Amino acid sequence: MLNLQAIFERKATDYPVWDCVIEKIVELPEAEYKYFKSAPLRDMSFIAENTEVMRKDENGMAHCLLVLGEGC
């Protein structure tokens, strides 16, 4: 498990960070990663397949995926 802090605000006026735990690392092929990176709010199958690991727990800790691109 990897613990870190990250920003999860859209168009934030400031940049508060949340404690989060990386529950799973997903490495996409380069082309699929570029597609994901170009519009990260689009529905993607790897997100749907991993919804059980993404949540905010009772202590306010965000449990997340880390999405990487092959060769990126």
Q: pLDDT tens, position by position, for the chain (72 residues)?
A: 777 777 666 676 766 678 899 999 999 999 999 999 998 888 999 999 999 999 999 998 999 999 999 987
Give the domain range for residue 27: 2-7+18-69
The answer to whether position 62 is within a domain reads: yes
- What is the CA angle 20-51-71, rounded to 5? 70
The answer to whether position 57 is within a domain reads: yes
Residue 71: its pLDDT value, please? 85
Residue 37 host element (H or E): helix 30-38
Residue 55: its pLDDT value, please? 94
Cα gap 66→20, rounded to integer Å: 11
Per the structure, how many domains does the chain have? 1
- Please identify which residue in the block is written with the tokens 């994901």: 36
Residue 19: its pLDDT value, please? 86
The answer to whether position 27 is within a domain reads: yes
The answer to whether position 13 is within a domain reads: no
The answer to whether position 59 is within a domain reads: yes
The answer to whether position 12 is within a domain reads: no
The answer to whether position 58 is within a domain reads: yes
- Helix (H/G/I), strand (E/B), else coil: 71: coil
